[in-house]
């Protein structure tokens, strides 16, 4: 029974790399304009799941994907233009990467590729994205510095700015705060709460408390299996349906 109003439907998703299976058939929905948290210990398939959603799994030669993934009812593996599809998904990877372009060009790169030429439009977009990534104040006077010359934390925020630059409908964040200090993390978390009005957000995180702060609903993945998905408050208050969830949330393992 497919939820027609959902932004994303994932049904029976299985992923394996060669002979090693990392996701063993998971089914869930993601609602529009919600922050959907994904928690679980390392090697649970969280990153692989994200790579299926934005179809960068295509670039892994020995990856095998089964099951269906639909965005607004349309199967994402059957889209006409995969690049246009990926534009609609913003991805923030855990490792900070500054492209070897100026900071300005880092953020303007994607919009330019999609045809935005007007200088004032670009200026406005670059500033807005850098502000949302809590990076604007630090770099506004040196937008022509090379992105690769920034510190790790700054590069991570640059990655966030880039992810926002192409006006995504779904924003995926994969452990975005590991390289960022707590104060800046808070700033970005506030921005995410506002961005929820404009887009759907998938937040993969190892920080259980972060999921508790931000996510409306949360999914617990353990070793490629979906243990539980539901309302965040319920799951984190010790009243989750599954005992494993309670154990993980209380720090018994992971």
Partner 1 sequence: MLHRSKYKALLEGLIEWIIRICGISAVVFVFAIFLFVFWQGKGLIFSGEFDFWKFLTTKEWYPASESNPRYGVYALITGTISVTVLAMVIAVPFGLGAALFISEFCSPKLKETLKIVIELLAAIPSVVWGFIGLTIMNQLIMELFGAPIGLTVLNGAIILALMSVPIIVSIGEDALQAVPDSYREAGIGLGVTRWQMVYKVLLPAAKNGLLAAVLLGVGRAIGETMAVLMATGHAVHIPFDAEFPFLHGLDSVRTLTATIAAELGETARDSSHYQVLFIIGILLFTITFAVNLAADLIVKGIKGK
Partner 2 sequence: MTESVNNAKRFTETRIGRNCQLTEKIAKFVFLLMTLTMVLPLLLIVGFLFYKAWPALSIDFVLELPKNGMRAGGIWPAFLGTLYLVLISLVIAAPIGVMAAIYLNEYAKENWFTRIINLAVINLAGVPSIVHALFGLGAFVLAAGLGRSVLAASLTLAVMTLPVIIASTKEALSAVPMSFRQASWNMGVSRWQTIRGIVMPNSISGILTGIILQVSRAAGETAPIMFTGVVFYKAVEKGDLFAYGLLDQCMALAMHLYTISTQVPGVPDAVPFATAVVLLGVVLLVNALSIGLRIYLRTHRKW
What is the contact surface with partner 2 in residues (CB under 8 A)?
Answer: 54, 56, 59, 61, 83-91, 93, 95, 97, 99-101, 109-110, 113-114, 146, 148, 159, 162-163, 165-166
Per CB under 8 A, does 120 bind partner 1? no
Stretch that binds partner 1, among 111-119, 151-159, 221-229, 240-248 (CB under 8 A): 111-119
What end-to-end distance do the CA atoms of the chain give, in Å? Answer: 33
- CA–CA gap between residue 240 and residue 254 (Å, rounded): 17
**Is residue 7 at the binding interface for partner 1, with CB under 8 A as the rule?**
no
CA distance 247 to 39: 13
Match 């599809």 to its residue by tokens: 85
Nearest residue to 130 (alpha-carbon basis) of 154, 95, 101: 154
Q: How far is the CB of 124 from partner 1 (least distance, A)?
A: 14
Q: Which residues are within 8 A (CB) of 48 and not within 5 positions of it... i.e. 6 or more apart?
A: 15, 22, 23, 57
Each as own residue / partner, the long-range contacts of residues 92-95 (CB below 8 Å, 24 or more positions apart, any chain) are 92/156, 92/159, 92/160, 92/163, 92/171, 92/172, 92/173, 92/174, 92/176, 93/159, 93/174, 94/47, 94/174, 94/175, 94/176, 94/178
Which x/- pattern over 149-168 shows residues binding partner 1 (rule: CB under 8 A)?
-----------------xx-
Position among 83, 97, 237, 243 found at the interface with partner 1 (CB under 8 A): 83
In 3D space, the residue among 31, 28, 13 whose CA is nearest the CA of residue 199 turns out to be 31
Give whichever of 99 and 116 is closer to partner 1, judged by the CB atom. 116
Nearer to partner 2, 157 or 162 (CB): 162
- Closest distance between partner 1 and the C-beta of residue 60, in Å? 18
Please report how close the Cβ of residue 244 comes to partner 2 at its closest, in angstroms.
32
Q: Establish if 117 lies at the interface with partner 1 (CB under 8 A).
A: no
124 touching partner 1, by CB under 8 A:
no
- Give least dist CB 58 to partner 1, A: 15
Quick one: DSSP state of residue 72? T
115 binds partner 1 (CB under 8 A): yes
Number of residues that bind partner 1 (CB under 8 A): 10
List the Cα angle 149/154/159 in 5-degree steps: 100
When computed from its CA atoms, the radius of gyration of the chain, rounded to whole angstroms, is 18
CB 241, min distance to partner 2, A: 34
Output 57 or 215, the one with its CB closest to partner 2: 57
Strands (E), 2-112: 8-17, 20-30, 35-39, 63-71, 74-75, 89-92
- Report the residue number, 65 or 249, with the smaller CB distance to partner 2: 65
The answer to whether residue 191 forms part of the interface with partner 1 (CB under 8 A) is no
Q: Beta partners for 237? A: none
Site residues (CB under 8 A) for partner 1? 81, 83-84, 87, 111, 114-116, 166-167
């Amino acid at each position: 029974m497919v939820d027609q109003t959902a932004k994303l439907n994932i049904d029976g998703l299985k992923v394996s790399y060669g002979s090693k299976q990392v996701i063993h058939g998971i089914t869930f929905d993601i609602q529009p304009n919600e922050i959907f948290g994904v928690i679980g210990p390392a090697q649970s398939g969280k990153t692989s799941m994200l790579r299926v959603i934005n179809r960068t799994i295509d670039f892994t030669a020995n990856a095998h994907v089964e099951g269906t993934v639909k965005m607004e009812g349309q199967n994402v593996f059957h889209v006409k233009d995969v690049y246009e599809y990926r534009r609609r998904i913003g991805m923030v990877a855990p490792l900070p990467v500054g492209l070897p372009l100026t900071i300005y060009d880092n953020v303007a790169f994607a919009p330019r590729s999609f045809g935005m030429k007007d200088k004032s439009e670009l200026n406005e977009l670059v500033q807005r994205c850098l502000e949302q990534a809590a990076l604007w104040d630090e770099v506004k006077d040196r937008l022509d510095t090379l992105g690769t010359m920034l510190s790790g934390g700054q590069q991570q925020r640059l990655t966030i700015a880039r992810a926002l630059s192409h006006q995504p409908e779904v924003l995926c964040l994969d452990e975005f705060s590991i390289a960022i200090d707590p104060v800046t993390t808070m700033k970005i978390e506030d921005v995410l709460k506002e961005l929820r009005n404009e887009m759907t957000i998938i937040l993969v995180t190892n920080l259980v408390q972060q999921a508790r702060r931000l996510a409306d609903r949360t999914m617990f993945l353990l070793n490629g299996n979906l243990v539980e998905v539901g309302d965040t408050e319920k799951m984190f208050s010790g009243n989750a349906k599954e005992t494993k969830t309670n154990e993980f949330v209380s720090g018994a393992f992971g």
